[in-house]
Structure 1
Amino acid sequence: MKIVFLQIMVAFTIVLLLNSCSKDKNNESDEPVLVGMDGNPRFNLQFTNPDNVDLDLYVKTPSGAIISYSSPQADGGTLDVDCLCSDCPQGPTENIYWTNGSAPSGTYEYWVNYYDYCESEGAQSSFTLRVIQNGVVKGTKTGTMSVVDSDTEHWTFVQ
Structure 2
Amino acid sequence: MLSYRILLSLAAPGLALLLLRDRPFARERLGLSGTSNGPGRVQQPTIWLHGASNGELASARPLIERLLARRPDLCIVATSNSRTGRALVESWALPRVSARLAPYDYRWALRLFIGRWQPRALILIESELWPNRIFEMARRDRPVLLLGARLSARSAARWQRMPALD
- Whose strand fraction is larger, Structure 1's or Structure 2's? 1
- Whose helix fraction is larger, Structure 1's or Structure 2's? 2
Would you say same fold, with TM above 0.5?
no
Structure showing greater radius of gyration is 1
TM-score (norm 2): 0.27
